[in-house]
Amino acid sequence: MLRNSPPGAADIGALERKATRLRRHMLTMARDQGQGYIGQGLGIADALAALYFHELRYDPHNLNWPDRDRFLLSTGHYSIALWAALAEAGIIPIEELVTYGADNSRLEMSTLDTTPGVEMIGGSLGHGLGQGVGQALGLRLDRSDARVFVELSDGEMQEGSTWEAAMSASHFKLDGLVALIDCNGIQADGPVVLDMEPVAGKWRAFGWETSEIDGNDMKAVVGALTDARQRNGKPKAIVLRTLPGKGVPRIESSEKSHFFRIDVAQWDGIIAEFEKSVGTQP
C-alpha cells in the first residue's frame, strides 16, 4: 500500500477481515508443511494486519524505496505470519505460500532477507531492535521521515542485547522507532521461563513511551499505533498482549503452542474449527 501521507481513519472491520485472511493463509501453510510456529503467527495476525494494511508506508512495486517504513520481524520463526502478510500486500504471490518450509522455497521457517519485503535476518533472537536503532539513525541522517517498526517477543526480552538496544534508542531519542512487543506468554521450553513482568514498566524505565494493549483487539492496536505516531521525542514501545493460536480454540489451549506438529487430519479439523468461528467472513 503506497502511502504518501499519514494514514486516515481506520476501517476496523476491514482490518479484522484482513487478519482473518492472514490466519487462513497461515493455517493452510502449516497444514501443508505439517508443522509450524502457528501459535505465534495466529497471535500476531492482528498487529500485522494493522501494520501492513493501515500503518506502514511502502510500495509493493518499489521495495527499495528509500523513504519506506521498515518492518523488522526479529522473531524470525514467526515467518509464517510475515509470509501471509507479504502475500496479502502483493509483495509475494499468494500461490507461493504453499511452498512454506519446503526444500528450495524462499519462504523459510525462519526469515532470511533474500525474500522480497524482508528487512533483516531474524531468528537469532535479540538482533532486531539494535538493527532497528541503526536503521532509524540512518534515516534520520538522511532527513527521511520514514519510521522503523520492530517486532520482538516477551521471551526475546531475555536476550541482553535487547536492553543494549533499548538504552541506545532512548539515548538517541529515536522517536521514529516503534517496538511491538508480542507478549504471548510462551517460549521454547513452555510458558515464559523467566518472569518478564512488569513488561511495560521495563520499557518505560528504559526511557520509552510505552502503551499496553490487548494485541488481538484491532481497535486497540490501531489506536496504539496512531498514538505512537503522534508523540515526539522518545522511541515507542507497544506491549501487545496476544493469545497464542488466537482464533483456533484447540491451539489456544495447547501447551505445545510454541511449535505445533500434528497430522493432516487434525489440521483439517483445526481449519474447520477456524472457518466455523469466522463464519461467512471473506
Cell of 198: 512488569
Q: Which stretch binds other proteins (CB under 8 A): 41-49, 168-176, 213-221, 257-265?
A: 168-176
Q: Is 135 in the site for other proteins (CB under 8 A)?
A: yes
Contact at 8 Å (CB) between 45 and 78? no
Q: Which stretch binds other proteins (CB under 8 A): 27-35, 119-127, 204-212, 265-273?
A: 119-127
Q: Is 205 in the site for other proteins (CB under 8 A)?
A: no
Cell of 133: 536503532
Q: 47: closest CA among 81, 86, 80, 87?
A: 81
Is 36 or 126 the residue whose CB approaches other proteins more closely?
126
Is 12 or 121 the residue whose CB approaches other proteins more closely?
121
Omega before 198 within 30 of 0, i.e. cis: yes
In DSSP terms, 178 is beta-bridged to 149, 236
Cell of 215: 494485541
Q: Is 200 in the site for other proteins (CB under 8 A)?
A: no
Is 18 or 70 the residue whose CB approaches other proteins more closely?
70
Distance between CA atoms of residues 55 and 211, nearest Å: 17
In whole angstroms, how close is the CB of 72 to other proteins at the nearest point?
Answer: 9
Q: 67: closest CA among 115, 138, 129?
A: 138
Q: Which stretch binds other proteins (CB under 8 A): 24-32, 160-168, 223-231, 250-258?
A: 160-168
Q: Which stretch binds other proteins (CB under 8 A): 93-101, 133-141, 200-208, 226-234?
A: 133-141
Contact at 8 Å (CB) between 55 and 49? no
Question: 173: number of CA atoms within 13 Å, CB side?
Answer: 3
Q: Is 75 in the site for other proteins (CB under 8 A)?
A: no
Q: Is 142 in the site for other proteins (CB under 8 A)?
A: yes
The residues binding other proteins (CB under 8 A) are: 66, 112-113, 119-121, 124, 126-127, 129-139, 141-142, 160-161, 164-165, 167-168, 171-172
